[in-house]
Structure 1
Amino acid sequence: MMQDDTIQDNTIQDDTMQADTQQAASMHDDTAVASFSMPRRPGAMLPAGPPTSSVHAAPSAFRCSLYGIGSGSDDGARAVVAAPAARRQPGADQDVFYIRLAQSSSHHHDAAVLIRKRYSWRGYAAEQQPRAAASGITLVADCGGVVVGTMGLCLDGCAGLPADDHFRPQLDLLRGQGLRLCEPSRLAIDGGVSKRVFASLIHVSYLYAHVLQACSDYIIEVHPRHLAFYQRMLGFEQAGPVLACSRVGAPAVLLRLSLYSMGEHIRACGGRTDLQQTERSFYPYFFSPDDEAAICQRLLARRERQ
C-alpha cells in the first residue's frame, strides 16, 4: 500500500480529481478491469521501465511488502474518472491508466521488475513470490504500455497467508472469530505516478476480495514507521506486535482493516472530488460506487479466462 514518508517528504501530492460524465466510447480496452485518465503535467514523462508487450488480463499478491511503494508527484493534476469498460482517446494533454489482472508472462515479469526496483530504492530485500500467491490474484496498472504499479492479493486457505510466517497466533485468533482473511502484498508504485494509481489498485482489490470472494478483513504487514499512515489514510488498526520480517529484512507490524468498514468509506467518499481537500484519507481518490458493478463484472470475466 502506501507509506507515510512518501507523503511527509512531498513526493506525493494531492490530486484534484474532477469527474467527467461524458462516456468515451471511441476506444475500448477489453483486457482492463478499470481505467481512468489524468491531464498530463507540462514536461511530465512516464517512468522509465520495460514495455508491456502483452495486453491481457492478469493475477495478484501483497505483503510485508507494503514497503515497496514508490512516490508520485501530481502537482495539482486533475484525474478524470473513466467508465471501467471505456477508454478515453489519449491526447497530447492526457494519460490513460489501466488496471488489469496480470495473466500474461510479460505482466508478471514487469511487475517483478518494478517490485525489485522500488524495494531496492527503499533499501529492502525483494521478497520472493508469496507461498500463498496461487490462491489469489496479481493486479497491474499500466500507462502507455509501461507497468507503473502492481499489488497482489492472497486469499486465506489451506496454505495460509504470508503473514502466518510471523503472526500465526494473531491470525488464528481472528480466524477463530469467524473472519475470512485476505492479505494484500508485494505492492509497488513507480516514482512520479499519481496517487490515483494506488487508490485504484486498492479499490479493485477490495472488490475482488469482499464482493466476489466474501472476505471480511484485510491483513497487512508494514514497517512500524508507516503505521500512522495506514491508520489515517485507510483506517487500519494494529493487530499484532512489532516483529522482524525475514522476507524483507526489516521490522514489521500486523494491521487489520474490516472490509465492511472500507465499503462504508467508499460509499461515503469514493469519486467525491469535493472532498479531496478536506478528507484526510485516500477514499475520495477511489472510483465512485456507481462504477463498482461494471468493475466486478469485468473482474469475473477476466478471472474466468485464467
Structure 2
Amino acid sequence: MGSEPNSLEPRDRIGSGDDDDGDLAQVVVDEKKFGLRMADTAQGRNGASVLIEKMYSWRGYSGNHRLKEDPNRVTLIATHQGEVCGTLTVGLDSPQHGILADELFKDEVDAFRARGARVCEFTKFAFASHIQSQSVMAGLIHFTINIANDVHGCTDMFIEVNPRHRRFYQNMLGFKQLGEPKHNPRVDAPAHLLWVSLAYMKEQIQLKAGKPPAENERSLYPLFFSPREEEGIIGRLKEADRVYRSNLDRGDMASRFSYEQAFSRNIGWVTPEEQALLRRKRVAIAGAGGVGGIHATTLARLGVGKFHLADFDTFDVVNFNRQVGATMSTLDQPKVEVMARMVRDINPEAEVEVFADGVHPGNMDRFLQGVDLYVDSLDFFAFDARQQTFDACERRGIPSTTAAPLGIGAATLSFLPGQMSFEEYFQWGQRSELEKAVRFMVGLAPAGLHRGYLVVPSAINLAERRGPSTIMAINLCAGMAATAALKIFLGRGKVLAAPHGLHFDAYRNQLVHTWRPGGNRHPLHRLAISMGVKMYSKAYNKS
C-alpha cells in the first residue's frame, strides 16, 4: 500500500552509485539527485519507519508499522538530501513465518506453493507526498524485483492493496487480482490480493526498460533501469545482500557469544587477568594468505581482540595446499575479507580493520596506529613493503616478529624496541632484489635444517618468485609466532630477540637456538650469502 503515483515522466540520468554514502544507484530528475539503497542499518530502517507511519496515518491506516531487523524482510529506500523519501520492502517466504499475506489469503498463496512456486510479497510501500517522480518510484520497484528474483530466486510476487490503488498495480505493473477483498486488521482497511509472475516482470524489463513508452501506454516499465544498467545493479545488490546477511549472522552469533566462555580453556596457561589483557591487545598482520591467515585465526583463538589485516590479493586454487582461508567457496574473494570474516566467526566482538590495498607508505600510519605487535606475513618477495613496515615499527617502538615456513619446519625472529633492528640484522639497504632474497633466506634460517631433504631443488626459482611449501610448516609458524606474541603481550617469558632465533624442523626432529652476532655481517652469513648469490644469479639474470 502507498500513495498513488502521479503522471509519468522520463528518467533524466542514472548513475553508477559510487558515491561515498553507499547508494546502489543514483536517479537524477529535474536536477535533483535521489539515492536508492538497502536499508541495512538501524538508522535506515528508522528513517523508512518514520515515513511509513507518516504516510499510512495520512491515509487513515491504523496499526504499528515500525520495521525491525528480519532476515526475511529486505527494505529498500529512496533518499533525497539525506532524508528518506520512499520505501518498499520485499517479504521473503519462510517455513516458520510465511509472508504477511498468509494472514488473510493463505489459501490463495498456498495454491502457488503447491505448484512449486517460490513466493514473496511487496509490503510497506510509502512515498513522501512532495516527491513528484515516478522515475524514483520505478527505480525502487525495480530494485525490489531484482532482490526478489535475481538475488533470492523468487518466482511469484503478491501484494495486498487498498481497493483504490488496485488499478494502478494492474495497469502499471501487470498485477492480477485473486479473489475478493477482505478486511485487513493490520491497517483496519479493506485489501485486495494481487499477484504477478516475476518472469513476466523480467520480460517487461527486457522489452521496455530504458525505452520511450508507446503512445498512450500506461506502464512503469519504460522508467525502469535498462537491461545493461540492471546487470551492474544486480551484482551490487547481491553483494549488499550478502553483507547484510553476514551482519545478521554476526548479530545472532554475538547474542550467543561469551568472551569469557569462548576462551575459558586458555585459563590455566594464562590467568583470568592476563586473558582480559589479551582481549585489549591490537595486532597488525601484513599478508592474509599462508602464514598471515593462520596467524590471524591463531591469535583470535588466543583471545586477542583487535586486528589490523592487510592484503591486496585474492584466493586462487594454487593456495589450497597451505592457506587456511583458501576453499572452493572463497575462490577469487579478497584474502583479507575472508580472513576478517573468519576472525569474526571466532570472536564476533573482535575489532577488525581491513586494509584491502595491502600495506604501503600511504596507509602505514593508520596500519600501525595503536598496534601492540606487528606480525610479518608478507609474501617472501615483497621486499619493499617488508623493509618499509619493519622500519616503521622500529621508529614507533613497536615489537615485531616474523615466522618463515621452511620445508616441514619453521624459523622465527623477533625484533624488540631498543635491540637489534630488522635492517641491522638483514643488512638490506639499497641492495638488488636478488641480494635481498638471498640475505633473507640466509638470515631467517642460519641452521638450514630444511635444506637436506629438498627432493626437487628446481622448485625454488627466485627469478619466477616461487618456492615449495607445506601446511605443516604454516601451522608450526603460527604456534611459534603466537607464543612469541603471548610473551610480548603479557611481559613474561623470555623472548629470543635478534640476533637470536629459533628453528624447529619436525622432519629432522631437531630444534636449534641460533645466535648470529651482527646478523648478516657475521662471517658465516657473509660466506653463505656470497655462495647463494653466485648460485642463483645466472637463473635470475636470464629472467
TM-score bucket (shorter structure): 0.7 to 0.9
Residue in structure 2 matching 1:168, options 106, 117, 125: 106
Residue 7 of structure 2 corresponds to 13
Q: Which amino acid aligns with 2:54?
A: K
> Which is bigger in relative contact order (C-alpha 8 A, separation at least 6)?
1
Task: Report the Cα distance in structure 2 between the residues aligned to 1:132 and 1:164, rounded to whole angstroms.
Answer: 20
> Aligned residues, how many?
242
**Distance 1:24-1:156 versus aligned 2 partners, 3 A rule:** closer
Residue 59 of structure 2 corresponds to 122
Partners of 1:180 and 1:215 within 8 A in 2: yes
Task: Report the Cα distance in structure 2 between the residues aligned to 1:17 and 1:277, rounded to whole angstroms.
Answer: 17
Q: How far does residue 192 in structure 1 lie from its aligned partner after superposition?
A: 2.1
Task: Report the Cα distance in structure 1 between the residues aligned to 2:57 and 2:73, rounded to whole angstroms.
Answer: 25
Q: How far does residue 110 in structure 1 lie from its aligned partner after superposition?
A: 0.9
Matches within 5 A, 1:101-250: 101-129=38-66, 133-158=70-95, 159-193=97-131, 194-250=133-189
Q: How far does residue 224 in structure 1 lie from its aligned partner after superposition?
A: 1.7
1:300 counterpart = 2:238: yes
Partners of 1:130 and 1:162 within 8 A in 2: no
Give aligned-pair identity as a percent: 36
Q: Could you say what secondary structure the match of 2:160 adopts?
A: strand
Residue 192 of structure 2 corresponds to 253
Higher gyration radius (CA): 2
Residue 416 of structure 2 corresponds to none
Q: How far does residue 105 in structure 1 lie from its aligned partner after superposition?
A: 1.5
Deviations along 1:217-255, one digit per CA (max 9) or x if unpaired, are 111101122222211111000123211000000011111
Deviations along 1:70-108, one digit per CA (max 9) or x if unpaired, are xxxxxxxxxxxxxxxxxxxxxxxx211111111221111
Task: Report the Cα distance in structure 1 between the residues aligned to 2:69 and 2:196, rounded to whole angstroms.
Answer: 20
Q: Which amino acid aligns with 2:174?
A: G
Partners of 1:36 and 1:96 within 8 A in 2: yes
1:283 counterpart = 2:274: no
Structure 1: tracts of 5 or more residues without a match: 40-93
Task: Report the Cα distance in structure 2 between the residues aligned to 1:175 and 1:130, rounded to whole angstroms.
Answer: 26
Q: How far does residue 2 in structure 1 lie from its aligned partner after superposition?
A: 5.5
Deviations along 1:23-50, one digit per CA (max 9) or x if unpaired, are 789x7346122221112xxxxxxxxxxx
1:34 counterpart = 2:28: no
Instruction: Write 1 or 2 for the structure with the bigger share of helix.
Output: 2
Structure 2: tracts of 5 or more residues without a match: 245-543
Task: Report the Cα distance in structure 2 between the residues aligned to 1:96 and 1:291, rounded to whole angstroms.
Answer: 17
Partners of 1:131 and 1:162 within 8 A in 2: no
Q: Could you say what secondary structure the match of 1:134 adopts?
A: coil
Q: TM-score of the superposition, structure 2-length normalised?
A: 0.42
**Distance 1:24-1:186 versus aligned 2 partners, 3 A rule:** closer
Q: Could you say what secondary structure the match of 2:100 adopts?
A: coil
Q: Could you say what secondary structure the match of 2:71 adopts?
A: helix
Q: Could you say what secondary structure the match of 1:275 adopts?
A: coil
Task: Report the Cα distance in structure 1 between the residues aligned to 2:37 and 2:203, rounded to whole angstroms.
Answer: 24
Residue 265 of structure 1 corresponds to 204
Deviations along 1:168-190, one digit per CA (max 9) or x if unpaired, are 11111111011110011001100
